[in-house]
């Protein structure tokens, strides 16, 4: 038995019947564009949130977290009634989404674990939501289409948990494909999978600075983007979102108050960088990604103001390490992780060197690891 299965048996007094798993995601490029109806290019990674579970024959949904040994419980008949701690609100919000759609809910016991760092910008919350949705589906004997599951989980995070995130994380965790990145248009929700270059792996370099979208200036950045749209509309622009602007339109912002022009410049140029990155990946031109990633990093730092010295230091350390072809901050910023593209044969040397050079700059890293791109959320039966 796995450590997670052992924990389930210890807490609930019997072995689990099935497991659900949802991967984290790393965003290759396309930061703060998703809630502006823009373009993103994430990839699911091999580290995941995993839930071991069994139907319990009651109307209670009982949760146990291996992370801190905490427990939570709520009713399948009125899933939104209980006031639960922060981590438990994610599966609770998914259950509320089931109830709102008239989907059946059954009592289930669940132990939650996994190897996905929390607060590193790898979508641990979306992974927990997707794994929880699969948990509730399997317990009830139903199966949602992956896109519908992603939308339900996104709604849970925005409407129930209260985090104004975009749709990218849930789509990446649900629709990921091994060996591919996912190109997502956040306005149309059209997707296509782009094969990952042979011999290249994703490296995640955690700065050790914890951040959470719910307690960062993330909501302020969203508000600034909305304010910029209204400012442009008041001056005759027919745009609905910043997605409707092209780089040629940026001159219209010469009179915009600071920081609106800088926020818009980041979103517009980042959308263009997503297209350039997708074309480079499809053409196998990994070398071209170095400057594109660096431009994204600088734009996030200077125009969107979500950088930190630790993120700059980790990008520098990564680019100085063996086998690195590109690196930039990933996720919402304000801390978290750097994503790098690294030759597989150099992976071990890259990790050791990047960590050492980051420490040499006076910082203390979190976990650094490499990963192949992975498949999306799934369920597995446990057979004795």
Dump the DSSP string for 230-269.
Answer: HHHHHTT---SSGGG--GGGGGGGTTSPTTHHHHHHHHHH
pLDDT at position 5: 96
Furthest C-alpha separation in the chain? 68
Range of the domain at 120: 3-195+374-381
**175 and 131 share a domain?**
yes
Query: pLDDT class for 212, splitting at 50, 70, 90?
Result: low
- Estimate the crossing angle of helix 218-234 against helix 260-282, to 10 degrees: 100
pLDDT score for 115: 87
Residue 287 class from Cβ within 10 Å (0-12 exposed, 13-18 middle, 19+ buried)? exposed
Interval 136-166: pLDDT, tens:
999 999 999 999 999 999 999 999 999 888 8
- Together in a domain, 189 and 209: no
pLDDT tens string 98-133: 999 999 999 999 999 998 877 677 889 999 999 999
Q: Give the Cα separation of 248 and 256 in Å (integer).
A: 16
**What mean pLDDT comes out for the span 326-346?**
95
- What are the tokens at 361? 């700059």
Task: Give pLDDT tens digits for 19-69.
Answer: 999 999 999 999 999 999 999 999 999 999 999 999 999 999 999 999 899
- 358, with CB counted inside 10 A (0-12, 13-18, 19+), is buried
Instruction: Kindly report the backbone phi and psi dihedral angles of residue 319, in degrees, each rounded to the nearest multiple of 5, phi listed first.
Output: -65, -25
Q: Do 182 and 267 belong together in one domain?
A: no
- Which CATH number do you get for residue 227? 3.30.70.890
Rg (CA), the chain: 21
E strand residue ranges, 30-85: 39-55, 60-65, 71-75
Q: What is the CATH number of the domain that holds 184?
A: 3.30.230.10
Copy the structure tokens of residue 230: 């209204």
pLDDT for the residue 213: 62
pLDDT at position 1 over 60? no
Question: Do the bridges between strand 337-343 and strand 200-206 make them parallel or antiparallel, or are there none, so unpaired?
Answer: antiparallel
Is 254 labeled as catalytic in the residue annotation?
Answer: no
Residues 46 and 75 in one domain: yes
In this structure, are 161 and 237 located in the same domain?
no
Decide if pLDDT at 74 tops 90.
yes
- Regarding whether 277 and 176 lie in a shared domain, the answer is no
Of 191 and 120, the one with more pLDDT: 191
Q: How confident is the model at residue 214 (pLDDT cuts 50, 70, 90)?
A: low
Q: Please give the tally of structural domains in the chain.
A: 2
E strand spans, the chain: 18-29, 39-55, 60-65, 71-75, 108-114, 180-185, 191-195, 200-206, 324-330, 337-343, 368-371, 378-381
Rounded to whole angstroms, how far apart are CA atoms 323 and 292? 17
Contact 115, 134 (CB under 8 A): no
Element (H, E) at 150: helix 146-155
Q: Which two structure tokens, joined as six digits, stand for 260?
A: 């609106």
Residue 131 parent element (H or E):
helix 124-140
Residues 226 and 209 in one domain: yes
Rounded CA-CA distance 149/26 in Å is 20
Claim to verify: residue 183 and residue 235 sit in the same structural domain: no
pLDDT band at 181 (very low <50, low <70, confident <90, very high): very high
The answer on pLDDT for 215 being more than 60 is no
Looking at the structure, tell me whether residues 218 and 241 fall in a common domain.
yes
Same domain, 48 and 152: yes
- Residue 378, pLDDT > 60, answer yes
Query: Which positions ≥6 away from 54 have C-beta within 8 Å?
Result: 8, 12, 14, 15, 16, 17, 18, 108, 109
The one catalytic residue in 34, 109, 169, 303 is 169
In sequence order, the 6+-apart residues with CB closer than 8 A to the CB of 130 are 22, 49, 149, 150, 153, 170, 173, 174, 376, 377
Within this chain, do residues 10 and 113 fall inside the same structural domain, yes or no?
Answer: yes
Place of tokens 């910043």: 242
Same domain, 144 and 269: no
């Amino acid at each position: 038995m796995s450590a997670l299965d052992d924990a389930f048996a210890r807490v609930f007094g019997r072995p689990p019947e099935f497991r659900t798993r949802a991967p984290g995601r790393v965003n290759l490029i396309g930061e703060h564009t998703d809630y502006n109806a823009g373009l993103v290019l994430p990839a699911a990674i091999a580290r995941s949130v995993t839930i071991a579970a069994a139907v319990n024959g009651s109307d209670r949904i009982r949760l146990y977290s291996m992370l801190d040994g905490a427990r939570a419980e709520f009713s399948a008949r009125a899933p939104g009634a209980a006031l639960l701690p922060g981590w438990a609100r994610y599966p609770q919000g998914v259950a509320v989404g089931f109830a709102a759609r008239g989907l059946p809910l059954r009592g289930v016991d669940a132990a939650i674990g996994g190897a996905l760092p929390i607060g590193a910008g790898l979508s641990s919350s979306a992974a927990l939501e997707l794994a929880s949705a699969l948990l509730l589906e399997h317990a009830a004997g139903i199966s949602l289409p992956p896109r519908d599951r992603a939308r339900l989980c996104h709604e849970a995070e925005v409407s129930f948990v209260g985090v104004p995130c975009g749709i990218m994380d849930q789509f990446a965790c649900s629709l990921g494909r091994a060996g591919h990145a996912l190109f997502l248009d956040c306005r149309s929700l059209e997707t296509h999978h782009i094969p990952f270059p042979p011999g290249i792996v994703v490296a995640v370099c955690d700065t050790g600075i914890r951040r959470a979208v719910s307690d960062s200036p993330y909501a302020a950045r969203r508000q600034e983007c909305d304010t910029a749209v209204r400012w442009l509309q008041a001056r005759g622009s027919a745009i609905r979102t910043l997605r409707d602007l092209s780089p040629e339109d940026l001159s219209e912002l010469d009179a915009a108050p600071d920081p609106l022009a800088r926020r818009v410049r980041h979103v517009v140029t980042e959308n263009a960088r997503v297209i350039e990155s997708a074309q480079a990946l499809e053409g196998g031109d990994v070398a071209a990604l170095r400057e594109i990633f660096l431009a994204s990093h600088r734009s996030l730092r200077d125009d969107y103001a979500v950088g930190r010295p630790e993120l700059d230091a980790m990008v520098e350390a990564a680019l100085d390490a063996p086998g690195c072809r590109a690196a930039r901050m990933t996720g919402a910023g304000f801390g978290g992780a750097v994503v790098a593209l690294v030759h597989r044969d150099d992976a071990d040397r890259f990790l050791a060197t990047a960590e050492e050079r980051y420490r040499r700059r006076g910082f203390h890293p979190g976990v650094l690891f490499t990963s192949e791109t992975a498949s999306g959320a799934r369920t597995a039966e446990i057979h004795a």
